[in-house]
Amino acid sequence: MPALDKSDSPLPTTTVKWRFPSVHPEGRKFLLISAVATLVVYGGVSHFLGWLLVGLTIWIAAFFRDPVRTTPVGGNLVVAPADGLITMIAKVPPPPEIAGADGLADAEMTRVSIFMSVFDVHINRSPIAGRVRKMAYVPGKFLNADLDKASEDNERQHFLIEGDDGLLIGVTQIAGLVARRILTFVGEGNSLEAGQRIGLIRFGSRVDVYLPAGTGPRVLLGQRTIAGETVLAEIGVEPGLGGHSQ
């Protein structure tokens, strides 16, 4: 049998090694405060309380972790903007702040909701390449982000992202019970790559994605997504997926 010519193989010949995720700059001040408090308490107050603060410091580092993500490239792909659990998939009108003739129009769209627990990575990423056409911040309540009415009642930040082909996608960051701060890393008019970091929510929350007509999700209820990597949908395709939990 002739030897395999590796130069003709479509498979990559390089390897990727795991590396420890860095802590996002937004979390470093919290990590420093917790670390200093831990040293002070452990050294002069109580070893028991000190060990509790050690656990808190580790959790803060984990919460603000910012792992490198590898985003699939394709003009028709929509990638997940958040790590978390798919808790809702529903046909709903688009948010009024990014609806209308100059936005997502007024017809119902498919909304995919991703719930982020306090243990998930909280860096949010752009689902497509394009331009930030509009942003709208709405102050509100801090209800459980897993509730349907959180999309209308909670504090939230809307993004209207226009793809290079003119396609419009809506993304909404929603604060939750514990979350008290929505942070954005981009502004109106900024150009984005698919999977680029666009914001962060402290501490526990939800992200909604509004898909255009004729596009169905390629994810299922109960499935977990990875921001910037999981393919959420393919433009113009209604997969009609079925599945089960086990």
Residue 118's closest CA among 47, 59, 160, 66? 59
Amino acid at 129: A
Q: Between the CA of residue 123 and those of 16, 66, 81, 148, 183, what are the distances in Å?
A: 22, 7, 8, 22, 10
Task: Determine whether 205 is an active site residue.
Answer: yes
The distance of Cα 228 from the centroid of its chain, to the nearest Å, equals 8
* 30, two tokens: 């919290």
Dihedral over alpha carbons 203, 131, 195, 10 (to 10 degrees): 170
Would you say the C-alpha torsion 100, 105, 111, 115 has a positive or negative sign?
A: negative
Give CA separation, 213 vs 25, 56, 97, 216, in Å: 38, 44, 19, 8
CB atoms within 10 A of CB 16: 8
Q: What is the residue type of 221?
A: L
Q: What is the DSSP letter of 205?
A: E
Partnered with residue 124 across adjacent β-strands are: 199
Residue of 22, 34, 205, 245 with catalytic role = 205
Report the catalytic residues.
205
